[in-house]
A and B are shown apart, each in its own frame.
Chain A
Amino acid sequence: MSTIKLTVNGKAVATDVEDRTLLVHLLRDHLNLTGTHIGCDTSQCGACVVHIDGRAVKSCTVLVGQAHGSNVTTIEGIAKGEELHPMQAAFRDNHGLQCGYCTPGMIMSAIDIVQRHGGRLDEATVRQELEGNICRCTGYHNIVKSVLDAATRMKVSQAAE
């Protein structure tokens, strides 16, 4: 057992967990942040993607000890109160989700993609960058549309800030 201290969605967290605990289990089982999902056991599907210190990471590949002292953001932490993050709004407006299970990981990955590529995103780039996130419902058509739409919205909202 170790005491793990980290910041999750802006709140300081200190918790005693088994050393073998994965970050995704800390989030889901100990902090009740069940928006982060588990869709596989080989780090392929991306349903568990969160941001660690601003970078998209599969939380099923991270032991809690590795996240000690870091700043973690989950799907529950990206809206500003009632105001959705532009990526969340874009997924809703473009029907970028169906069953919703892969969606949190998709959104967290997509935000990272837009942040890394800025305004230089096109369909082919989005498709390549989504390599680590599997969706079985949408055929990705509307996910790609959502990400491209959000890229524009995020540029606009950054310019406004």
Chain B
Amino acid sequence: MGVEGIGARVVRKEDRRFITGKGRYVDDIKLFGMTHAHFIRSPHAHAKVKRIDSSAAMKMPGVVAVLTGKQIVDDKVGNLICGWAITSKDGSPMKMGAWPAMAPETVRFVGQAVAVVIAETKNLAKDAAEAVTVDYEELPAAPDIRAAIKPGAPQLHPEAPGNVIYDWVIGDEAATKNAFSNAANVVALELTNNRLVPNAMEPRSAVAEYDAAEEHFTLYTTSQNPHVARLVLSAFYNIAPEHKLRVVAPDVGGGFGSKIYVYPEEMVALWASKKVGRPVKWTGDRSEAFLTDAHGRDHLTKAEMAFDKDNKILGLRVKTHANLGAYMSLFSSAVPTYLYATLLSGQYNIPAIHAEVITVYTNTVPVDAYRGAGRPEASFLIERLMETAARQLKVDPAELRRKNFITQFPHQTPVIMAYDIGDFGASLDAALKAIDYAGFPARKTKAKSEGRLRGIGFSCYIEACGIAPSKAVGSLGAGVGLWESAEVRVNPVGTIEVLTGAHSHGQGHETAFAQLVSERFGVPISQVQIVHGDTDKVQFGMGTYGSRSIAVGGTAIVKALEKVEAKGKKIAAHLLEASEGDIVIENGEFKVTGTDKAIALPMVALAAYTAHNLPDGMEPGLKETAFYDPTNFTFPAGAYICEIEIDPSTGKTDFVNFVAADDFGRLINPMIVEGQVHGGLAQGIGQALLEGAVYDGSGQLVTASFMDYAMPRADDLPSFKLNHTPTLCPGNPLGVKGCGEAGAIGASAAVINAITDAIGNNKLEMPATPDRVWHAIHGNA
């Protein structure tokens, strides 16, 4: 390992601009002649749009245009699409209702846009929006799963009778039935996976510019995947062909999944920029983020697990209803199916699994991937079941897990996934030691003597990351391939630019990716520039989500570096009059092994570009590209243990300790990895204790601000104790697995298991607010 190579805790290259206020986010961009957009949004959850009168607004100062849903449909801007096809158990395709960028006729959730005001300033646009009259005819609303599937429920889309989008199954139903009929014990649970709002701190924003001379659009946008955005805007939304559309995602202030998707506002900004002939900026405020960003989770599940007389798992049966909101967002269909049910084997040998997933339209904002995306729901289900089983079977929860751990790899689960490697026992052991499990009974007794309830809870999670190989996801219905690309340019002076299709919105790519270059060529990371987020610069890319950047994007960089190294060695051998096989790279120099003959990387690069003296037939230049498609998912896994205390008089939960032992394979920059875990844990704990999106019976989002939706604050959380128990991933040359989502996937079950342990009542829903915990302690009187 070099000073700045793989495994080094290097401080981040990108930080200087952020800590000095020089980050460049979309809302910081100002273009000459720029106008400002403000959307007029439905106050109703379900209604017909009868009439829009903008005549008074058009007379107001500074108003450039008022544009409506009818106009965008008339201009043949395409409806929003869902890019992952799911087939129901009866063989029928999923039932997708039409989603225009602004509603011409029917609104189906509070906050859906019906029109947009374009004006000289944001305030003038807001003023004018007040003067636009929209007549609605209210319709009955179905704001949650139960309301949407009950007989006589309001019908959202004519395409989806009964509001069911698909009814999908996975696993072997007969074998699972057989497992339950042979069971010595069955453990059953009903679970709600609460609906969450991602709430990246930077609200979504779009700046669109149309160049009439070139018939070319540029979109600056808060995107996790600008190339995918361009592809969708071109191929499906008819904005412009790809070569006439540049998408730039500059500094982006967090995503957590919510910035994967192309949203109506970006489509409207592009369309409007051509219509008004001037650049258009839209920046959402937080209220709009709550109302219009894709939400996460929102499952209702019944699950049961069968055990034999030795407490070995025989089978798992799951039925889940998942809320997809009023329209199918870009990857929404994949989240409760292939990102959820394929992980239901957890860390355990489960011979038979059968799961049924029914997705439902409701009069709420669309639901899609949010940090973990399906895997937190799976992990929560399995780990709540295991803890419940341990209590019901009266065995130690750690030992029940250990008895059922998968220990032989590779391991084919009954639900598609083939785990390549892991050591679940090692993670559990590390976590048990870190929390001093042996000392827990004494601590519990002591707390009890002081009038406090102490509990401990486990969560042994596994996830599938990378969301590739492309062939596999294609066979499961994905509309795109999920490989990654990289380009490595060694400049004539020896500095190095790496262009990657991954996108950093907090993950520290500019540092971690530079460390890959430093490792190979021995150059300081200050000589390496990571370029991302611009379709005019980067050849192509699938972006960042699914903890895929290092495993897929990083490997693409390694593949391109290998090609650069091979060519560099040929040049060095030629210049040093040595055999190519004798050239090694040490400290930024190409050396003839066993001699003092050497040539520095910049001299090799210069030779490549002057081309005065290259091997016969060699092309000039030192620049290589690679497209990398993995052979399997990666499988990060780990054990989280949480110890809490509750004041029975208030129901408030306080953390005593939270320990993690994660297996992410090789760590490129442990400092960055640990930061990712901290953030993930905070979101998992937020789900368990604080967060929950609540729509009332009429479909109003009553948790639509930071005053009503409890974001985790510093004093809600503990400091975390992290441990690493790596097994190297055999599927990629770096041995890496991905770390971005683990905390959010594993944390919530550990917290709820700890609280239910403390209070001796297993019936507790998330978020476990003091009110709910108090009632769970004292009864529901």
Known: A104-B18, A134-B711. 5 other contacts (CB 8 A): A38-B27, A39-B286, A95-B675, A123-B719, A139-B720
**Stretch of A51-59, A63-71, A124-132, A153-161 contacting B (4+ beta carbons < 8 Å):** A124-132
- Considering only residues 734-760 of chain B, those with a C-beta below 8 Å from chain A are 743
Question: A95 vs B672: C-alpha distance in the bound complex, in angstroms?
Answer: 7
**Stretch of B428-436, B503-511, B694-702 contacting A (4+ beta carbons < 8 Å):** B503-511
**B394 in the interface (beta carbon within 8 A):** no
User: B residues within 8 A CB of A34?
Assistant: 21, 24-25, 27-28
Contact A88 B19 (CB under 8 A): yes
A100 interface neighbour in B23, B256, B674, B678, Cβ under 8 Å: B23
**Stretch of B105-113, B195-203, B463-471, B473-481 contacting A (4+ beta carbons < 8 Å):** B195-203
A139 touching B682 in the complex, CB below 8 Å, given contacts A45-B286, A98-B254, A99-B252: yes
User: A residues within 8 A CB of B672?
Assistant: 95
Question: A103 vs B505: C-alpha distance in the bound complex, in angstroms?
Answer: 13
Contact B705 A33 (CB under 8 A): no
Contact A136 B254 (CB under 8 A): yes
B295, chain A: closest CB distance, angstroms: 15
Write the residues of chain B forming the contact surface with A, with a CB cutoff of 8 angstroms.
11-12, 14-25, 27-28, 123, 199-203, 251-254, 256, 285-287, 505-508, 671-672, 674-676, 678-683, 705-707, 711-715, 717, 719-720, 743
Question: Which of chain B's residues has its CB closest to A91's CB?
Answer: B19
Question: A141 vs B711: C-alpha distance in the bound complex, in angstroms?
Answer: 15
User: B residues within 8 A CB of A38?
Assistant: 27, 203, 285
Contact B715 A134 (CB under 8 A): no
A99 interface neighbour in B505, B711, B714, Cβ under 8 Å: B505
Question: A98 vs B202: C-alpha distance in the bound complex, in angstroms?
Answer: 12
Across the A-B interface, the 3 shortest Cβ-Cβ residue pairs: A35-B21, A101-B253, A100-B18
Question: A121 vs B260: C-alpha distance in the bound complex, in angstroms?
Answer: 40
A64, chain B: closest CB distance, angstroms: 13
Which of A41, A84, A98, A130 has its CB near the most chain B CB atoms (within 10 A)?
A98
A147, chain B: closest CB distance, angstroms: 9
User: A residues within 8 A CB of B743?
Assistant: 139
Contact A75 B201 (CB under 8 A): no
Contact B202 A142 (CB under 8 A): no
Contact A101 B720 (CB under 8 A): no
Question: Which of chain B's residues has its CB closest to A44's CB?
Answer: B706
Question: A76 vs B678: C-alpha distance in the bound complex, in angstroms?
Answer: 28
User: A residues within 8 A CB of B17?
Assistant: 100
- Considering only residues 15-58 of chain A, those with a C-beta below 8 Å from chain B are 18, 20, 28, 33-42, 44-45, 47
B61, chain A: closest CB distance, angstroms: 12
Contact B682 A140 (CB under 8 A): yes
Question: A88 vs B22: C-alpha distance in the bound complex, in angstroms?
Answer: 13
Contact B123 A20 (CB under 8 A): yes
19 A-B interface contacts by CB (under 8 A): A20-B123, A34-B27, A38-B285, A39-B201, A40-B285, A41-B705, A95-B671, A99-B202, A100-B253, A101-B202, A101-B254, A102-B201, A128-B715, A137-B679, A138-B679, A139-B679, A139-B681, A139-B683, A141-B719
Contact A136 B15 (CB under 8 A): no
User: A residues within 8 A CB of B505?
Assistant: 99
Question: A142 vs B720: C-alpha distance in the bound complex, in angstroms?
Answer: 10
A93 touching B11 in the complex, CB below 8 Å, given contacts A35-B22, A99-B253, A139-B679: yes
Contact A138 B287 (CB under 8 A): no
Contact A37 B679 (CB under 8 A): no
A84 touching B19 in the complex, CB below 8 Å, given contacts A41-B286, A45-B706, A131-B715: yes
B14, chain A: closest CB distance, angstroms: 8
Contact B20 A79 (CB under 8 A): yes
Contact A39 B202 (CB under 8 A): yes
Question: A143 vs B713: C-alpha distance in the bound complex, in angstroms?
Answer: 12
User: B residues within 8 A CB of A74?
Assistant: 21
B706, chain A: closest CB distance, angstroms: 4
Contact B123 A99 (CB under 8 A): no
Question: A128 vs B711: C-alpha distance in the bound complex, in angstroms?
Answer: 15
Which of A42, A100, A135, A138 has its CB near the most chain B CB atoms (within 10 A)?
A100
Question: Which of chain A's residues has its CB closest to B719's CB?
Answer: A141
Question: A107 vs B28: C-alpha distance in the bound complex, in angstroms?
Answer: 19
Question: A54 vs B203: C-alpha distance in the bound complex, in angstroms?
Answer: 28
A138 touching B678 in the complex, CB below 8 Å, given contacts A98-B507, A99-B253: yes
B678 interface neighbour in A18, A45, A131, A141, Cβ under 8 Å: A141
Contact A98 B675 (CB under 8 A): yes
- Considering only residues 70-85 of chain A, those with a C-beta below 8 Å from chain B are 74-76, 79, 84
Contact A37 B19 (CB under 8 A): no
Contact B123 A134 (CB under 8 A): no
User: B residues within 8 A CB of A84?
Assistant: 19-20
B39, chain A: closest CB distance, angstroms: 15
A40 interface neighbour in B11, B15, B286, B674, Cβ under 8 Å: B286
Contact B714 A103 (CB under 8 A): no
**A116 in the interface (beta carbon within 8 A):** no
User: B residues within 8 A CB of A41?
Assistant: 285-287, 705
User: B residues within 8 A CB of A114?
Assistant: none
Question: A103 vs B25: C-alpha distance in the bound complex, in angstroms?
Answer: 13
User: A residues within 8 A CB of B256?
Assistant: 136
Question: A40 vs B202: C-alpha distance in the bound complex, in angstroms?
Answer: 9
Question: Which of chain B's residues has its CB closest to A75's CB?
Answer: B21
Contact B12 A95 (CB under 8 A): yes
Question: A127 vs B256: C-alpha distance in the bound complex, in angstroms?
Answer: 24
User: A residues within 8 A CB of B679?
Assistant: 98, 136-139
B706 interface neighbour in A102, A107, A134, Cβ under 8 Å: A134
Contact A104 B21 (CB under 8 A): yes
User: B residues within 8 A CB of A140?
Assistant: 678, 682, 712-714, 717
**A144 in the interface (beta carbon within 8 A):** yes
Contact A75 B20 (CB under 8 A): yes
User: A residues within 8 A CB of B720?
Assistant: 139, 141
Question: A88 vs B24: C-alpha distance in the bound complex, in angstroms?
Answer: 18
A24, chain B: closest CB distance, angstroms: 11
Contact B12 A92 (CB under 8 A): yes
Contact A42 B286 (CB under 8 A): yes
Contact A135 B22 (CB under 8 A): no
**A8 in the interface (beta carbon within 8 A):** no
Question: A137 vs B706: C-alpha distance in the bound complex, in angstroms?
Answer: 16
Question: Which of chain B's residues has its CB closest to A104's CB?
Answer: B21
A76 touching B713 in the complex, CB below 8 Å, given contacts A41-B287, A99-B505: no
Which of A47, A140, A143 has its CB near the most chain B CB atoms (within 10 A)?
A140
B212, chain A: closest CB distance, angstroms: 27
Contact B678 A142 (CB under 8 A): yes
**A97 in the interface (beta carbon within 8 A):** yes
Contact A92 B678 (CB under 8 A): no
B315, chain A: closest CB distance, angstroms: 37
Which of B11, B21, B25, B675 has its CB near the most chain A CB atoms (within 10 A)?
B21
User: A residues within 8 A CB of B20?
Assistant: 35, 75-76, 79, 84, 88
B195, chain A: closest CB distance, angstroms: 17
Contact B706 A92 (CB under 8 A): no
A100 touching B506 in the complex, CB below 8 Å, given contacts A39-B202, A91-B19, A141-B678: yes
Contact B705 A100 (CB under 8 A): no
Contact A131 B714 (CB under 8 A): yes
A114, chain B: closest CB distance, angstroms: 15
A107 interface neighbour in B19, B123, B681, B719, Cβ under 8 Å: B19
Question: A127 vs B743: C-alpha distance in the bound complex, in angstroms?
Answer: 21
Which of A74, A97, A124 has its CB near the most chain B CB atoms (within 10 A)?
A97
A112, chain B: closest CB distance, angstroms: 15
Contact B201 A47 (CB under 8 A): yes
Contact B11 A92 (CB under 8 A): yes
User: A residues within 8 A CB of B23?
Assistant: 35, 100-101
User: B residues within 8 A CB of A93?
Assistant: 11
B688, chain A: closest CB distance, angstroms: 13
User: A residues within 8 A CB of B15?
Assistant: 91-92, 97, 100
